[in-house]
Chain A
Amino acid sequence: MKYAGLLVMPAGFFLAIAAIVLFPDPTPRIGFLLCSLAVEAMGLGVAVRGHMEPRGERRS
């Protein structure tokens, strides 16, 4: 889970690059960019969730 989320995040970045290259028109470009950010947010959410430790766990 920890690493899956972090691996999803670069996918969002490549979607952003695709938006720049594929959509010269501003409206679909913005829409695609927002989708790329949504993918990154999803990846971040999974990474955050994966890093949550059980309460009371002691680390040395």
Chain B
Amino acid sequence: MTSSSPMFSDTIFALVLVLLLLAPLSIVGLALINTGLGRSRSAAQSILGSLALVSAAGLVFALFGATFADGFSGAGHTFSLAGKTWSWAGTGPVALSGFATETGREQLSVLFQFLAVALAVLIPWGSGADRWRMPAGIATAAVLAGLVFPFVAHWTWTTGWLATLGANFDMGVGFLDGGGAGAVHVLGGLSALAVVWIAGPRRGKFPREGLSTAMPGHNAIYVLFGCGVALVGWLAFNAAGSLLWLNAAPAALPVVALNTWLSASAALSATFIITRVRFGKPDASLCANGWLAGLVTSSACAGVVTPMEALVTGFIAGLVTPLLVEFLELAVALDDPSGAISVHAASGLWGLFAAGVFAPRQGQLAAQLVGIATLLGIVLPLVYLLFWLMNRVIPFRADADGERIGMDLHELGGGAYPEFVVHRDDSYR
């Protein structure tokens, strides 16, 4: 968990590199899920936006973000409190200068973070579907990659103050987050909440009378295929994260992979059952949300729990997720088309907590609670403030006419499915 971790052998270096080359499948899967859960008139904007966001995040992280996320160039920016040194930012080279001559472990750490930030910025993109303008989405990706993610990554993964809670304050081994449940998913999920708050609901979503209007995703195949693709990426992320951040031995990787799969499977089963009981038939989009919630939970737990514990944590995530999606829409009037707030933020927080409960170390639960308090107490207000300021400069929301004709025609001038009739808002109250 720290820069004093043992050096990688060539075999482990090659193994982590191969895993990280598979990890982008989680990004592809999430892009497909986001697109499928949105409406057909915004499908091309969603996919192009995904590529643009990932590109912007990668560029900004390479130019600035990696400097602050760094954990290998000395202690970084620090301050002293209670007789201990607290590292709050890295002091790595700007624009990745000298990257080629760094050790294998350092290079792989940067590559992991590079992929992680790309995944994190895609999470709010799905929540703003059908009304969030692409330029604003790209700007938020750049801000997250340059000003928020690097600090959270440094605190969590390298020599940051959360990672060193164990050494400094006897709290287990410090904050545990091998697969990025906090630095990626909770950050992305809380960003999604900020976007939904600032952009507001889609027109017609919450009519003056009656229940909220159902606006189902336009392509269940994209969504469910995306879930399958995401599994491969998640297996790679969790395994690579265990080797890089938890100092796991390669012999532990089969358990990590099994835990990841078990967590997702248990979560899907729970969501399948609960939607079958509540609606009479299983709901495809909620089951996809349940599957993803299980994967997100495994991001925190896969490297530190037993297979049966992974099953239990996943099952609980799968039970809670569909109920939370429904609660947020019906009781709180949050229009979150991809369910990212429930799937990524809530399940990520649950996974971090469960890792503390099940980890067999004294003080680990306290470290996890500190991490959760940091994500909720600092990251959400900070992200909201940054997005609120950005909305003043680059308005998040498309105008009413743009939303009515669809984001494809409004922003790209052409639709994703030109041969098909696009339904207008007339059908909505």
A-side residues, CB < 8 A to B, are: 2, 6-7, 9-17, 19-21, 24, 26, 29-30, 33-34, 36-37, 40, 44, 48, 51-53, 55-60
Known contacts A13-B376, A19-B366, A59-B201, then 4 further A-B pairs from the complex at CB < 8 Å, ordered by chain A residue = A29-B366, A37-B373, A52-B333, A59-B203
Is B208 among interface residues, defined by CB-CB distance under 8 A? yes
Q: Let me know if A6 and B203 touch, CB within 8 A.
A: no
Question: Do A16 and B374 form a contact, CB below 8 Å, given A26-B362, A26-B366?
Answer: yes
Known: A13-B374, A16-B377. A59 touches B207 (CB 8 A): no
B373 and A40 contact, CB distance less than 8 A: yes
Given contacts A12-B377, A56-B208, contact A33 B400 (CB under 8 A): no
Are A60 and B206 interface neighbours, CB within 8 A? no
Is A10 within 8 A of B377, CB to CB? yes
Nearest residue (CB) in A for B362 is A26
20 contacts between A and B (CB under 8 A): A6-B380, A6-B381, A6-B384, A6-B385, A7-B381, A13-B378, A20-B169, A26-B366, A33-B366, A36-B369, A36-B373, A36-B377, A37-B372, A52-B332, A53-B200, A53-B206, A53-B333, A58-B203, A59-B201, A60-B399
Asked if B197 is at the interface of the complex by the 8 Å CB criterion, the answer is yes
Flag if B376 contacts A12 (CB, 8 Å): yes
Report B-chain residues with C-beta under 8 Å of the C-beta of A6: 380-381, 384-385
Q: How many A-B residue pairs have CB under 8 A?
A: 92
Residues of B within 8 A of A (CB): 81-82, 165, 169-171, 197, 200-201, 203, 206-209, 332-334, 362-363, 365-366, 369-370, 372-374, 376-378, 380-381, 384-385, 397, 399-400
Cβ distance A54 to chain B, nearest Cβ, rounded Å: 9
Q: B380 and A9: CB pair below 8 A?
A: yes
CB–CB B376/A48 < 8 A = no
Residue of B nearest to A7 (CB): B381
Determine how close the nearest CB of chain B comes to the CB of A52; give it in whole angstroms. Answer: 5
Q: For the complex formed, measure the closest distance between the CB of A45 and the CB atoms of chain B, giving whole angstroms.
A: 10
Contacts of B369 in A (CB 8 A): 16, 30, 33-34, 36-37
Once the chains bind, are A20 and B165 in contact (CB under 8 Å)?
A: yes
Which residues of chain A are within 8 angstroms of B81 by Cβ–Cβ distance? 17, 21
- Contact indicator B377/A56 (Cβ below 8 Å): no
Write out the residue numbers on chain B whose beta carbons fall within 8 Å of the beta carbon of A33.
Answer: 366, 369-370, 373
- Interchain CA distance A6-B380 in the complex, whole Å: 8
Among B197, B333, B362, B381, the one with the most A-chain Cβ atoms within 10 Å of its Cβ is B381
Bound state CA distance, A12 and B377, in angstroms? Answer: 6
A55 — which chain B residues lie within 8 A by C-beta? Answer: 206-209, 333
User: Which residues of A are found within 8 Å of B171, using beta-carbon distances?
Assistant: 20
A37 → B minimal CB distance (Å): 6
Which residue of A6, A7, A30 has the most chain B CB atoms within 10 A of its CB atom?
A6
Judge whether A48 and B332 touch: CB under 8 Å. Answer: yes
CA distance A29 to B381 in the complex (A): 24
Q: When chains A and B are docked, how far (Å) is the Cα of A26 from the Cα of B370?
A: 13
* Among B82, B171, B366, B385: residue with most chain A CB under 10 A: B366
Which residue of chain B has the shortest Cβ distance to A34 in the bound complex?
B369
Chain A residue at minimum C-beta to C-beta distance from B165: A20
CB distance from B417 to the nearest CB of A (A): 27
Roughly how many angstroms separate A21 CA and B168 CA in the complex, as a whole number?
10
**Please, which residue of chain A has its CB at the minimum distance from the CB of B399?**
A60
Closest to B371 in A: A16
Given the known interface contacts A10-B381, A55-B208, the answer about A44 and B376 at a Cβ–Cβ threshold of 8 Å is yes
Contact residues in A for B378 (Cβ distance below 8 Å): 10, 13
Q: Quote the shortest CB–CB distance from B127 to chain A (angstroms).
A: 14
* B207 close to A40 (CB less than 8 A): no
Least Cβ–Cβ distance between B247 and chain A, in angstroms: 23
Which 7 pairs between the two chains have the least Cβ-Cβ distance? A56-B208, A13-B377, A16-B373, A33-B369, A21-B82, A59-B200, A40-B376
- A50 to nearest B CB, angstroms? 9
A33 (CB) vs chain B CBs: closest residue: B369
> When chains A and B are docked, how far (Å) is the Cα of A40 from the Cα of B372?
10
| Complex CA distance for A15 and B376, rounded to whole angstroms | 13
| Bound form: Cα–Cα A11–B381 in Å | 11
Residues of the B chain whose Cβ atoms lie less than 8 Å from the Cβ of A9:
376-377, 380-381
Nearest CB in chain A: distance from B43 CB, A: 23
Partner of B207, one of A12, A34, A56: A56
